[in-house]
Structures are given as structure tokens and as C-alpha cells.
Structure 1
Amino acid sequence: MKGGSVWRLARRVQFQRATQSAAAPFIPRATPSFHSNAFSSSSTSTRAPPPPRFSTGQRRSMFIQTQATPNPSSLMFYPGKPVMEVGSADFPNPRSAMNSPLAKSLFAIDGVTRVFFGSDFVTVTKSEDGAWEFLKPEIFAAIMDFYSSAQPLFLDSQAAAAKDTAIHQDDSETVAMIKELLETRIRPAVQDDGGDIEYRGFDPDAGIVKLKMQGACSGCPSSSVTLKSGIENMLMHYVPEVKGVEQELDAEDDGTMLSGQMN
């Protein structure tokens, strides 16, 4: 009996091992799937994840901010990078933008009528029938494409910016004081509103300073108030020889103001 019991126990152990081996489940190899949960998070595979479909280059890393101006047709765009190292640049029409790749690409957007470069911003002026909700994405794309292309802001660096307030040796003391005030006190305030001013001359007999409004300040409904109540009062206060300020208009500015009055 004892020998028979040992034999039966051995047979039982062999049967159990065979049964367990036959019942072991078959685990197939994982196959790719279009679903995001195709592979379990508990997988021990060391395979590297697939590369991203889209690159994360400079264009997608830019964060452009916008700021409203007193002119509802103009908007300031801050690319987070310097724009003009010295001075400013105004482009009243597409013809004037041929020297700047960025300005030229902005004018290629339907509805853009004027472009202005400041120290760290770009002011874009739209037509009356243009809508910012449609224009802003295209303007964002044009600015990002420019800064990722490594193109120069101006093809001809000599014509980059006119130093209208630079003091020359033949300037009178009055003109030098006017230029210094325009550069240090008045220009920064005007640029905060997305525009600029250009010194066009001084008539010593009449005491009239001639200026040209640029950027968002050109054609702005409040530009005349800024010119008279702000700039004129400051110049007359610090320079007794100044009796008034007049705005000079170029041909394109005359056409813009005329169309605004007709509308």
C-alpha cells in the first residue's frame, strides 16, 4: 500500500503540471493601432516614442501681444523682439514698403492699408471694411514667418530710418531745443499710442513748427487734439519762440483724409 500510494501521488503531481501547462493563456504580441490607448501604460517596452508630427521651431515659440490704440483702425503688435534699433519707419502705402520684407508681406494681406515700425512694436492700420478677427491671424503668421526667416528688416540699411531730430551744426538754438523736446519728451509719448512724429521744419518768422504724424496717429480722429493740446502746448511752454504747430500731409495722407471725410 505504501508503494502504491507513492506511485499514485507522483502520477497526480505529473497530471497537475501537465494541466497547468496546457491551460496557460497565449499572449499575442501587441500590434499597432490608431487609438491612443492601443498600448497599455504598464508595458515594460523600452521602445522610444514616435517623433512629433510638427516641429517646435522658432515660429511656434513666439508669443505676440497686441495693444489697442486711440485709432480704432490701428493695432499694435509686440513680437517680443526688437524691431527698430534706432528711430522709426512709416509705410503709408505698398510702394513705400518695397525696401522692407516684413512691411511688404504685411501689405500683401488684404485689408492692410498702412504699416509702422517702432522700437519694439509693429503698428498695422486696416481699411474701414476690414475686421480684426480675420486680419489678426494673418498678421501673426506674417510676423512669425519673418522672424523665423532671418531676413533683414530693411534690404537697404542706409534707408532704414530718417534721423529727423538729429541736431546739426547749422541748427539754431531754437531748432535744437525743438528737436531735443521732440526726441526726449514728445516722441516716447506718441509711440506709446502706436505712432510717431516727424520733424519737417521750423518757420522762425511765423514761429510755426511743422510736423508729420505717422503710424496710428496718422488719420486718427484724435490726432488733431494730440497735435494742438499736447505737442503744441509743450513746445510753446518750453520754447517761447514757438507760436504754433501745423501738420504737414503728403499726397497719400491727403487721399486718406479725403476718403474719410467722404465716408
Structure 2
Amino acid sequence: MKEYVITVKETNNPSILKFEANHPLVEAGHYEYRNIDEAKNAPLAQQLFYLPFIKTVYISGNFIAMERFDIVQWEDVKDEVAQQLVEYLNAGEPVVTEEPKKDKVAVTVYAEVTPNPAVMKFVANKKLVPDVFEFKNIDEAATSPLARKLFEFPFVKEVFMDLNYISVTKYEVADWNEVTMELREFIREYLAQGGEVISADTPRSSGAQQTGSATGDQNLDETSQEIVNILEEYVKPAVASDGGNIVFQSYEAESKTVHVILQGACSGCPSSTFTLKNGIQTMLQNMMGDKVEEVVAING
């Protein structure tokens, strides 16, 4: 059995003291605990929080660093803490219950510009999601670990996912020339580490839920279903290549108006009106005759 020896070392912060061990304490990762509740996976940190003067516990590699409250000075208690650590470690007690390391997988991700200057498309060489998912903010991304991480970047405004790509909408304050590489590398590394993209119980995006199955929705009338089929076969592949999605919302027989929802790079795109009027609307009029007069789009 290993015999642990603890060496006490001062830091630049007088409130923080470092206790170095002669053997590694954790295999990977850096851990920070600010209270006993956060230390559920760290039995040693839990024990340390029973000391009334411990404010924060840091564990990394072969050392434990502790920040104290001002009620004591380290000079008065450091020997006692070091002795407690030696006894705990030499008793073979666990430090941190670490999750097994996941093997990296070979993943490539490339960035692709879209017609929407606010949106960049990040394409992976593997399937990422089984369906269309759109997140307008971090609260909507509660069931998507990757989307939540992306929203931690201050310039990320919205996240859209479909099959093997992620479209990210940025705020105007950021320049894609400055942030694209950082974002691409983050996504690639996250996927290579085996990070979860989306939870199994994540609902499809609101637009997809309204539409129903592309193969047929029994609640749609014959004309509406014909429109859905045309959008699925002729339009969606094209807009998906631009990092977006189009979803049928409704058809008004009296006005012969088709309402669709634009998602991802299509949402808010300066060229979307032109695309609708000169592309989708013309296609539906040519294929459906006088059943369609106008196509109206709503940004998702």
C-alpha cells in the first residue's frame, strides 16, 4: 500500500494553502467544491468541510488546495489539516469518485458559411441528432448538454441541430473571422470526447412538432399534405445544405396562402424573402396550379 506524505506550500493568495502529496490523488480533471453539497462525488472534500474554517476545496493531480474563512489563520491550523489528510489517505479512503475516461473517437468538423451572415454551419462526419432541434436560449436547451455548453459562449444567440450539423446564430458584437475556429474546435473536441449531444427525451423543435411526420399526417387535408410532400422532397434538402430548415405550418384554402416556419440559418436571413417569393412560392404555384397564391414565412 502507498504511504502518503503531505507537504504544505503557500500560494500567492494568503487565504489559500496548498497540500501536496507524494502520489497522485486523482487521475484526470480538476475539481472545485464550494460546499459539502457540491462535494457529493468527493468523500475527502466532504470530510474537509466539517472543519468550520474551510471555504473552498480544490483537488487536482497530486495536491489539494483549500481556501479558508477569515475566522482563523493557516499558521494556527495547517499542521492539523495536514495530519488529517495523511491519516485519511493512508487509510485507503477515496478522494474523488471519478467517472471512467471515455476513449476519444475520430471526429472531423468543418465550418461552412450560410446565406445568413449571422449563422455559421458546423458539419460533422457523423450523425449527431435523429431529428430537428432548435434552441433559442439556454433555458430551452435543458436537455441538450452540447447546446448548453455552446450558450456559454457570450456571442452565441441560438443553436439549431439537424442530422450531422449544427447551425449557430451569433450576436452582432462578434465577428465570425475571430470566433469560428474556436467554436469549431470546441465542437470537435466535445464530440471526440464522447459528449452527449442531446438527451433521448428531448422534444423535437416546435416547428417539427406542429408539422408531424413528413410521410403523412392524418390530420392534414389533401392539399396541405401535398404541400408538405413538395417541401420535404424539393425544398428541405436545399435549405438544409444552407444550415436551415423549413416547416409547413398551415394552408388557408380561402386565400390560398401557405404559412411556413423558417428555422436555423433561414430564420432572419436577409435573403429568405427572395427565396420564398422566387423559389418556394413559384415552385408551389407551378406544381399545384391555382391552389397556391402566396407563401408567408414566420421566423422560428
Q: Amino acid of the residue matched to residue 245 of structure 1? A: V
Alignment match, 1:58: 104
Alignment match, 2:150: 106
User: Residues 170-227 of structure 1, C-alpha deviation per residue, up to 9 Å, x if partnerless?
Assistant: 3221111001011111111111111111211111111111111111111111011111
| Distance in 2 between residues matched to 1:143 and 1:223, nearest whole Å | 27
Alignment match, 2:72: none
What is the CA distance between 1:127 and its match in structure 2?
1.1
| Distance in 2 between residues matched to 1:220 and 1:124, nearest whole Å | 13
1:223 aligns with 2:269: no
Q: Amino acid of the residue matched to residue 112 of structure 1? A: V
Query: Which residue, 138, 162, 169 being the options, matches 1:118?
Result: 162
| Distance in 2 between residues matched to 1:127 and 1:191, nearest whole Å | 22
| Distance in 2 between residues matched to 1:96 and 1:231, nearest whole Å | 30
| Distance in 1 between residues matched to 2:136 and 2:275, nearest whole Å | 20
Alignment match, 1:174: 223
Local SS of the residue matching 1:142: helix
CA gap 1:194/1:144 in 2 versus in 1, 3 angstroms: same
| Distance in 2 between residues matched to 1:115 and 1:93, nearest whole Å | 8
CA gap 1:220/1:159 in 2 versus in 1, 3 angstroms: same
Tell me, which stretches of 5 or more residues in structure 1 are unaligned?
1-54, 251-263
Alignment match, 2:171: 127
What is the CA distance between 1:130 and its match in structure 2?
0.3
Q: TM-score, normalised by structure 2?
A: 0.59
CA gap 1:103/1:123 in 2 versus in 1, 3 angstroms: same
| Distance in 1 between residues matched to 2:139 and 2:153, nearest whole Å | 14
Alignment match, 1:82: 127
Local SS of the residue matching 1:78: strand
Q: TM-score, normalised by structure 1?
A: 0.67
CA gap 1:229/1:105 in 2 versus in 1, 3 angstroms: same
| Distance in 2 between residues matched to 1:227 and 1:244, nearest whole Å | 9
8 Å Cα contact 2:111/2:184 also seen in 1: no
Alignment match, 1:26: none
| Distance in 1 between residues matched to 2:184 and 2:299, nearest whole Å | 30
| Distance in 2 between residues matched to 1:72 and 1:215, nearest whole Å | 12
Percent identical among aligned pairs is: 31
> Larger strand proportion, structure 1 or 2?
2
Alignment match, 1:25: none
Q: Amino acid of the residue matched to residue 170 of structure 1? A: N
RMSD value, Cα: 2.4
Q: Amino acid of the residue matched to residue 104 of structure 2? A: Q
What is the CA distance between 1:119 and its match in structure 2?
1.9
Local SS of the residue matching 1:95: coil
Tell me, which stretches of 5 or more residues in structure 2 are unaligned?
1-100
What is the CA distance between 1:165 and its match in structure 2?
5.0
1:142 aligns with 2:186: yes
Q: Highest CA radius of gyration, 1 or 2?
A: 1
What is the CA distance between 1:133 and its match in structure 2?
3.5
Alignment match, 2:294: 244
| Distance in 1 between residues matched to 2:144 and 2:217, nearest whole Å | 28
| Distance in 1 between residues matched to 2:273 and 2:140, nearest whole Å | 25
| Distance in 1 between residues matched to 2:113 and 2:173, nearest whole Å | 18
8 Å Cα contact 1:196/1:213 also seen in 2: yes
Query: Which residue, 189, 196, 219 being the options, matches 2:238?
Result: 189
User: Residues 98-140 of structure 1, C-alpha deviation per residue, up to 9 Å, x if partnerless?
Assistant: 2211111111111011111122111111111202243224322
User: Residues 8-44 of structure 1, C-alpha deviation per residue, up to 9 Å, x if partnerless?
Assistant: xxxxxxxxxxxxxxxxxxxxxxxxxxxxxxxxxxxxx
User: Residues 137-157 of structure 1, C-alpha deviation per residue, up to 9 Å, x if partnerless?
Assistant: 432243234324434432243
| Distance in 2 between residues matched to 1:133 and 1:145, nearest whole Å | 20
Local SS of the residue matching 2:139: helix
